Amino acid sequence: MEMKRVDIDRIMTEAKESALKRGYPDKVLSFSSLNTEEYFDRSNFAEWLEQVNACHAVSYYTPFEGNNPGIVIKKTVRKMMSFLGLPLIQQQNSFNVAVANSLNCMKKFIIDIGKLRLNEKSEMGMDEKRNEERFQRYERMLEDMKAETVSLRTRIAKLEQQIAEDK
């Protein structure tokens, strides 16, 4: 059996040309550059989180309803199959708990980010107020300096006039 020789350089060149034609950006996009606001719906997230928290545990032994002889057969079959079903249910429950914990952590993170943004906004408001106060103080200082400069100019002019008269 004869093996074909693979030209890796040619394949890489074709891949680069294809990427250039499609216009992929050179820089890898970061998660923060994506606009997640339009994809995330807080109310839906809260509903889904409630559902996950309410029903993340799956039970292998669900009750059978009715009172007929078929229930005894169903219970017997379930007991005979428990060596297959119980490990799957335990794995599924472990996964469900991990997902529920992850979603609860995401909720806490979202709440913390919201608090951070509120703090930043309030601090920005305080900074704006401080900056306004500084600006007004500097304007008053500038006006005082202008008045003092005018006063000094008039004094200099008088002194120069006296010097000129004394000569």
The predicted model gives 114-123 an average pLDDT of 72
pLDDT over 60 at 71, yes or no: yes
Which residues are CB-contacts of 60 (< 8 A; sequence separation ≥ 6)? 78, 82, 85, 86, 89
Do 60 and 82 contact (CB within 8 A), yes or no? yes
Q: What is the pLDDT of residues 98-113, one digit of tens each?
A: 888 888 888 888 888 8
Do 140 and 132 contact (CB within 8 A), yes or no? no
Q: How far is CA 49 from CA 10, 39, 44, 112, 119, in A?
A: 50, 17, 8, 17, 26
Q: What is the pLDDT of residues 32-41, one digit of tens each?
A: 665 555 566 7
- CA 16, CA 13: separation in Å to the nearest integer? 5
**Which pTM value belongs to this model?**
0.44
Do 36 and 26 contact (CB within 8 A), yes or no? no
Q: What is the pLDDT of residues 132-150, one digit of tens each?
A: 888 888 888 888 888 888 8
